[in-house]
């Protein structure tokens, strides 16, 4: 297939989780012989932090203004098999209009921020997708599974809402030798988010204050320097390129998984760090949310922590054999269910299903048109359905 994608970024992972998601999926689709064109708005903060300026697995089209890119966009849409609009694409509303008006056989919206998008749709905010545009897509691919999928269909007319979680590249994410640069007892990797900060304070910074003989690492940009109370035994890495993620996780005795408020409320929202850390054999301490047990078995493949005391108890109370066993089991689980190749195959299956549904609808419409020319005969599609 020829696949045209409009996404937040694939060239820079700075301050976003979209780039690594697209990279894993698109690399796997490329291995499966698909041709991919990726449109990305040339934002200055990504331009200054490009860690993959020219991916080998897709043709990147950077643009400054939608108007100037539109002729090229329409040329690519004219002969593609699948068009995908990603959440938080800066020109999303305009791109959605062009995609939905096009003759592309399968049109998909890929929501990497489903609970946030859902809240925006309910409030009438159209930052990157209008409420009336949802039904224009054949597929609503969602980072979040569970009950929200049915709500998208019931409230906003999504034709077919299905989960398409993030994934990881097994060739990149596997256990590595411990690096002195990243060696620590507990790490956390994630961009600053106000609704995650209280958990970070409770589950990493407060334990670091108590356990002064332990090492901690916080990796991620946009943390406010004036208000971040960082103990001396917490190392802060402002931005860590994806090429160092495997070493980071492999060198962490434990790593922390924290989930944003909207994701917790709906559940079934695994972050990419769950899969990448597990693939490296790193034992994860996670906050609790509905559906986590459908991704990793609690107590056997992932550990829960709700407060400072529990985090400290896990850091001090578990022996190395226990820690390694949990990490190993998590690695086995994600290799079996969440690799990029499996996600690419899932994408293909969804597209094939949507294509069959669309073809059927078009054929029935054409048959109805033909039947209308013959007097005395009812709807041919109705007759076919009855038969």
Q: Which of 111, 118, 167 is nearest to 140 (CA)?
A: 111
Is residue 193 located within the same domain as residue 308?
Answer: yes
pLDDT for 295 beyond 70:
yes
Q: Which of 84-88, 184-188, 270-274 has the lowest mean pLDDT?
A: 270-274
Percent of the chain surpassing pLDDT 90: 88
Is residue 150 located within the same domain as residue 188?
Answer: no
**Residue 358 confidence class, pLDDT cut points 50, 70, 90:** confident
Classify strands 82-86 and 59-63 as parallel, antiparallel or unpaired.
unpaired
Round to whole Å and give the CA distance between 40 and 61: 6
Average pLDDT, the chain: 92
Q: What pLDDT, on a 0 to 100 scale, did the predictor assign at position 360? A: 47
Q: What pLDDT, on a 0 to 100 scale, did the predictor assign at position 77? A: 98
For the stretch 304-325, pLDDT in tens is 999 999 999 999 999 999 999 9
Is residue 195 located within the same domain as residue 101?
Answer: no
Is residue 212 located within the same domain as residue 288?
Answer: yes
pTM value > 0.75: yes
Q: At a CB cut-off of 8 Å and minimum separation 6, what does 209 contact?
A: 231
pLDDT for 93 beyond 60:
yes
Is residue 15 located within the same domain as residue 154?
Answer: yes
User: Within a domain: residue 366?
Assistant: no
Return the structure tokens found at 174: 């596997």
As for how many domains the chain has, the answer is 2
Burial 180-214, CB ≥16 within 10 A → b, else e: eebbbbbbbbbbeeeebbebbebbbbbbbbebeeb
Is residue 262 located within the same domain as residue 211?
Answer: yes
Is residue 188 located within the same domain as residue 335?
Answer: yes
Q: What pLDDT, on a 0 to 100 scale, did the predictor assign at position 226? A: 76
Q: What pLDDT, on a 0 to 100 scale, did the predictor assign at position 359? A: 60
Q: Which of 133, 121, 140, 69 is nearest to 97 (CA)?
A: 133
Q: Taking the mean position of all CA atoms in its chain, how far away is CA 356?
A: 26
User: Within a domain: residue 364?
Assistant: no
Is residue 320 located within the same domain as residue 196?
Answer: yes
Q: Which of 5-9, 49-53, 363-367 has the lowest mean pLDDT?
A: 363-367
User: Within a domain: residue 263?
Assistant: yes
Is residue 267 located within the same domain as residue 145?
Answer: no
pLDDT for 25 beyond 50:
yes
pLDDT for 342 beyond 80:
yes
Q: Taking the mean position of all CA atoms in its chain, how far away is CA 382?
A: 41
For the stretch 146-200, pLDDT in tens is 999 999 999 999 999 999 999 999 999 999 999 999 999 999 999 999 999 999 9
User: Within a domain: residue 357?
Assistant: no
User: Within a domain: residue 387?
Assistant: no
C-beta separation of 279 from 334 below 8 A:
yes
Q: Which of 80, 90, 91, 88 is nearest to 58 (CA)?
A: 80
CATH assignment of the domain containing 30: 3.40.50.2000
pLDDT for 64 beyond 60:
yes
User: Within a domain: residue 345?
Assistant: no
Q: What pLDDT, on a 0 to 100 scale, did the predictor assign at position 15? A: 86
Mean pLDDT of 214-239: 92
Round to whole Å and give the CA distance between 261 and 331: 27
Mean pLDDT of 39-64: 96
- Name which residue leads in pLDDT, 372 or 221: 221
pLDDT for 52 beyond 50:
yes
Residue with tokens 């490329």: 30
Residue where a domain terminates, one of 339, 357, 372: 339
User: Within a domain: residue 94?
Assistant: yes
Residue 36 is inside which H or E element, if any? strand 35-41
* Sign for the pseudo-dihedral over CA of 6, 10, 15, 16: positive
pLDDT for 227 beyond 90:
no
User: Within a domain: residue 291?
Assistant: yes
Residue where a domain terminates, one of 339, 360, 381: 339
Is residue 16 located within the same domain as residue 153?
Answer: yes
pLDDT for 256 beyond 60:
yes
Is residue 115 located within the same domain as residue 263?
Answer: no
Mean pLDDT of 328-354: 97
Q: List the domain range (segments joined by +) for residue 86.
A: 2-163
**Residue 140 confidence class, pLDDT cut points 50, 70, 90:** very high
Q: What pLDDT, on a 0 to 100 scale, did the predictor assign at position 228? A: 84
Q: What pLDDT, on a 0 to 100 scale, did the predictor assign at position 357? A: 84
Is residue 287 located within the same domain as residue 201?
Answer: yes
């Amino acid at each position: 297939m020829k696949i045209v994608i409009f996404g937040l970024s694939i060239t820079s992972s700075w301050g976003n989780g979209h780039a690594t998601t697209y990279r894993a999926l698109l690399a796997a689709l490329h291995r499966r012989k698909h041709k991919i064109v990726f449109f990305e708005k040339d934002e200055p903060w990504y331009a200054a932090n490009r860690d993959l300026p020219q991916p080998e697995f897709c043709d990147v089209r950077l643009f400054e203004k939608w108007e100037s890119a539109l002729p090229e966009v329409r040329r690519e849409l004219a002969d593609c098999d699948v068009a995908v609009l990603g959440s938080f694409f800066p020109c999303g509303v305009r791109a959605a209009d062009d995609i939905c008006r096009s003759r592309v056989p399968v049109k998909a919206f890929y929501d990497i921020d489903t609970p946030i998008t859902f809240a925006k749709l309910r409030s009438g905010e159209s930052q990157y997708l209008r409420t009336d545009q949802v039904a224009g897509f054949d597929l609503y691919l969602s980072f979040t599974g569970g009950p929200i999928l049915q709500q998208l269909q019931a409230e906003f007319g999504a034709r077919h809402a299905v989960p398409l979680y993030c994934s990881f590249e097994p060739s990149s994410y596997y256990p590595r030798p411990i690096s002195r640069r990243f060696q620590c007892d507990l790490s956390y990797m994630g961009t600053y988010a106000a609704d995650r900060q209280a958990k970070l304070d409770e589950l990493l910074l407060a334990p670091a204050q108590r356990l002064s003989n332990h090492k901690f690492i916080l990796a991620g940009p946009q943390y406010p320097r004036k208000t971040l109370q960082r103990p001396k035994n917490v190392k802060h890495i402002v931005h860590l390129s994806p090429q160092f993620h495997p070493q980071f996780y492999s060198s962490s005795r434990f790593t922390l998984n924290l989930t944003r408020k909207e994701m917790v409320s709906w559940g079934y929202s695994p972050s990419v760090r769950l899969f990448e850390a597990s693939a490296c054999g790193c034992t994860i301490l996670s906050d609790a949310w509905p559906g986590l047990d459908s991704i990793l078995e609690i107590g056997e493949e992932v550990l829960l922590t709700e407060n400072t005391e529990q985090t400290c108890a896990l850091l001090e109370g578990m022996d190395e054999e226990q820690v390694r066993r949990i990490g190993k089991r998590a690695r086995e689980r994600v290799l079996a269910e969440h690799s990029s190749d499996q996600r690419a195959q899932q994408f293909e299956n969804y597209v094939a299903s949507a294509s069959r549904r669309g073809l059927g609808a078009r054929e029935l419409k054409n048959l109805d048109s033909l039947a209308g020319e013959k007097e005395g005969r009812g709807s041919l599609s109705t007759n076919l359905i009855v038969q």
